[in-house]
Structure 1
Amino acid sequence: MPTNLIGRRAVLGGAASLAPVLAAPRARAADTKPLRIGILTDETGPYTDSGGRGSVLAARMAIADEGAQGVEILHADTQNKPDVAASVARQWYDSGVDMVTDLPVTSIASAVQQVAKEKQRTVIITAAASTFLTARDCNPYSSHWADDTHALSVGPTTQVLRAGGRKWYFITVDYVFGTAMEKAASAVITGGGGQVLGAARYPLGTQDYSSMLVQAQSSGADVVGLASVGNDLVNLVKQAGEFGISAHQRLVGFLIYITEVHALGLKAAQGFTFASSFYWDQNDTARAFSRRFLKEHGGMPTRNHAAIYAACRHFIRASATAGTRDALAIGRAMRAMPVDYLGVPATLRVDGRLIYDLALWRVKTPAESHGAWDYYTRLATIPAAEAFLPVTPACKG
């Protein structure tokens, strides 16, 4: 099998190597064999900026900050193929890897989640967003640290509706992610006395959104909801800016990374409103981590990078508390311990869903920004109880 499917070991300092990652010594209660963590990410495709080498750096920083002894990191490219990701994860677990994390795209995360259950090893999903990963597919070896589709759609929709955004028009990518987001948001709108005036659907990879944007402009909507992601969303926001939509209608989206806002620039992205659990400038803890990350990486961390950092630290602590590499014991410890999500209090539920408050953000105008990466203004807090679905009966224990 090609090397990139097997994975590469990383060392503190950034270069790939066959040596383990070493940090300051820290005693482990009963099992002194070093932990092994696998970063299964997109290293060559559309999610490299939100994951990629930044994910490996975030894990290295977590190990260094936790003072863990001899923890080894492996990393590999999913090639955005579930079968490739599952094959790598299976090999890693068979070779003694204790935990796999990152996992962009629901199909990839779901495939690896099933392998982790089969092998009775830990998986921590920080990128893929589907609620199915806990609401339907919970297991004691898995936890979900990404802002999920319910939180990303229902949370901001509820807040914008309360602020007076009563009439909505959607532009939606025509596959499961987009349609699920539109459906969830629409239920909140109509249930709260608002109106959905219409929707336009488009296939993945569309380049020209002009006809859809014209429809949105002429719909009479207060809010244009963009149920899109990745390069499609970037192109859609850019063209919406060229049409001047944000001057008269609020643009609300459901999943965007700071790297995408950076690529767009404030002139194009200004006014875009969305929910996220992490922004580099949200508190002192986040700022300290992010400035160190920026110095080495050249860009600010995404929400995914922040979640990987917090998850790796929590996993290492839970392993030390449990005094074993047994995944069930570590999982119980992870669920019993409070989580520090870079200054945001969080808890890990019995079903593996990480619970925390999110924030509603608006992208600043160029005049509001005070410098590089100063992109967001906080509009509201979205309480955890409002953002996340309750535990399903099958996942209660």
Structure 2
Amino acid sequence: MKNPARNTTRKNLVQAGILASAVLLAGSATAQQKISDDVVKIGVLTDMSGAYSDFTGTGAVTAAKMAVEDFSKNGMVLGKKIEVVYSDHQNKPDIGASRARQWFDQEQVDVIVELVTTNVALAVMDVAEQKKKIVLISGAASLPITNERCNANTVHWVYDSYGLASGTAKAIVQSGKKNWYFIATDYAAGVAMTNSASQVVVANGGKVVGVTKHPFPASDFSSFLLTAQASKADVIALANGGQDTILAIKQAAEYGISKTQSIVPIVLFINDVHAMGLKVAQGLTLTESFYWNRDEKSRAWSRRFFEKSKKMPSMAQAGVYSSVLNYLHAVANTGTDDMATVMKYLKSTPIDDGLFKGSIRADGKFAHEMLLLEVKKPSESTEPWDYYHVRKVIPTADAALPLSESKCKLVQL
């Protein structure tokens, strides 16, 4: 004989299951409806052919696509397609801003990533603020991005001039090399790096004896180096990047300047070391936020990147991967690609993706550890791209400008 109570219970459970499924489906449909234009589109805007293309360029596009693959094997989020597009801003702010405007207005791009070259990054940030879109910066160095020029749409993901100076400049001054001469690129990043490093030098008992600016890009550093040599400074600091930094270091070695004065790059990428070779680069002190050979997680990801790019990733390229991956998680977990909602999630959720670990502050700075590195001698390298000694891990608290000193309008103390 059938048990009416048991049948009633079974019927109620079935109905509850149907109701729960309906709620989940409805929720999924609601989430899907919140994806604008039925696609999540990521734009990689970078230097594809100029002075910075080796440590950004096509490798940045590869990193973005790897992030999409690792997030979703079918290239979907919330049932909608993820698309990666890319373009060359040629290190020109007007081209960068024009491309950003076209992407936002006509091609429904939701987020722009990478943005090496400070002047380009600042220009694109302004467009994104007007259009209520998101910018995640990996390649540009300037502190004003999250300081006096900050906005609610931007995250500075990898490094800035404060973090670089708090590592390299502090270590060099504390080693006893007090008098500094700067050779700086004549645009915003050069100014920011010079200012940040100068403040660290003076704060630690050093002195800035001179600054010379050079055009970007430069074809010859002879006159700048000879002027710096004549200053008798302990340190000739290079506040530039990419091919400019490589050329300056090579010429300093050719003239024998690096035998009597320390050449100190404020920013240097592993690709730059690879281009120079260890014979020229050995002994250089630098600060980075990522090194492929640091631990098992960084090695595993970097070797996958190498299979695709035939070179190890720079910190900027690693930053593109991290920023895209975490952006997609934010979209998935909030159920929308709405700018304000995604940014709120990013700024309230700790990040630990195997490459970077930290949190995004109110000013848009992704605060995380930095690494003080020394370039190995050729005899110390055990395999290709094994270029660095990790001399110190710089704590997060020391690697980012204290919020108490911030000029960002978003910071409320």
Shorter-chain-normalised TM-score: which range?
A: 0.7 to 0.9
Give the equivalent residue in structure 1 for 2:31. Answer: 30
Give the equivalent residue in structure 2 for 1:51. Answer: 56
Q: Secondary structure at the match of 1:55?
A: helix
Q: Among residues 34, 41, 47, which one is paired with 1:42 in the alignment?
A: 47
Give the equivalent residue in structure 1 for 2:96. Answer: 85
The answer (yes or no) to whether the contact 2:194–2:239 under 8 Å persists in 1 is: yes
Change (3 A) 1:203 1:358: same
Give the equivalent residue in structure 2 for 1:327. Answer: 339
Question: After superposition, what is the alpha-carbon deviation per residue over 1:224-273, rounded to whole angstroms, capped at 9, x for unaligned?
Answer: 32222222211111112223444444322111221121111111111121
Change (3 A) 1:205 1:127: closer
Amino acid at match of 1:42: D
Q: Secondary structure at the match of 1:280?
A: coil
Q: Percent sequence identity over matched residues?
A: 39
The answer (yes or no) to whether the contact 1:56–1:75 under 8 Å persists in 2 is: yes
Q: Among residues 233, 242, 247, which one is paired with 1:235 in the alignment?
A: 247
Give the equivalent residue in structure 1 for 2:157. Answer: 145
Ranges in structure 2 where 5+ consecutive residues have no aligned partner: 1-27
Matches of 1:227 and 1:384, distance apart in 2: 23
Give the equivalent residue in structure 1 for 2:407. Answer: 392
RMSD across aligned positions (CA): 2.2
Give the equivalent residue in structure 2 for 1:254. Answer: 266
Single out whichever of 160-169 and 51-60 deviates more from structure 2: 160-169
Give the equivalent residue in structure 2 for 1:263. Answer: 275
Q: Secondary structure at the match of 2:149?
A: coil
Please give the residue correspondences for 1:230-309 in structure 2 after superposition, counting only pairs within 5 Å: 230-309=242-321
Matched, 1:76 2:87: yes
Amino acid at match of 2:83: E
The answer (yes or no) to whether the contact 1:29–1:321 under 8 Å persists in 2 is: no
Cα shift at 1:124: 0.8
Give the equivalent residue in structure 2 for 1:23. Answer: none
Amino acid at match of 1:396: V
Matches of 2:246 and 2:116, distance apart in 1: 18
Question: After superposition, what is the alpha-carbon deviation per residue over 1:344-386, rounded to whole angstroms, capped at 9, x for unaligned?
Answer: 3211111211101111111111111112111111122222222
Matched, 1:66 2:67: no
Cα shift at 1:282: 1.4
Single out whichever of 44-53 and 275-284 deviates more from structure 2: 44-53
Please give the residue correspondences for 1:147-166 in structure 2 after superposition, counting only pairs within 5 Å: 147-166=159-178
Amino acid at match of 2:66: M
The answer (yes or no) to whether the contact 2:181–2:235 under 8 Å persists in 1 is: yes
Cα shift at 1:31: 2.2
Cα shift at 1:313: 0.6
Give the equivalent residue in structure 2 for 1:363. Answer: 375
Amino acid at match of 2:71: E
Q: Among residues 121, 131, 135, which one is paired with 1:123 in the alignment?
A: 135
Cα shift at 1:209: 3.3
Matches of 2:111 and 2:379, distance apart in 1: 44
Change (3 A) 1:372 1:174: same
Aligned positions, number: 371
Cα shift at 1:153: 2.4
Matches of 1:351 and 1:124, distance apart in 2: 13
Change (3 A) 1:291 1:236: same
Matches of 2:284 and 2:304, distance apart in 1: 27
The answer (yes or no) to whether the contact 2:350–2:359 under 8 Å persists in 1 is: yes
The answer (yes or no) to whether the contact 2:306–2:312 under 8 Å persists in 1 is: yes
Single out whichever of 297-306 and 163-172 deviates more from structure 2: 163-172
Single out whichever of 55-64 and 241-250 deviates more from structure 2: 241-250
Q: Secondary structure at the match of 2:379?
A: coil
The answer (yes or no) to whether the contact 2:181–2:231 under 8 Å persists in 1 is: yes
The structure carrying a bigger helix percent of its residues is 2
Answer with 1 or 2: which has the greater Rg. Answer: 2
TM-score by length of 1: 0.86
Matches of 1:73 and 1:351, distance apart in 2: 27
Cα shift at 1:304: 1.1
Cα shift at 1:212: 4.4
Ranges in structure 1 where 5+ consecutive residues have no aligned partner: 1-26
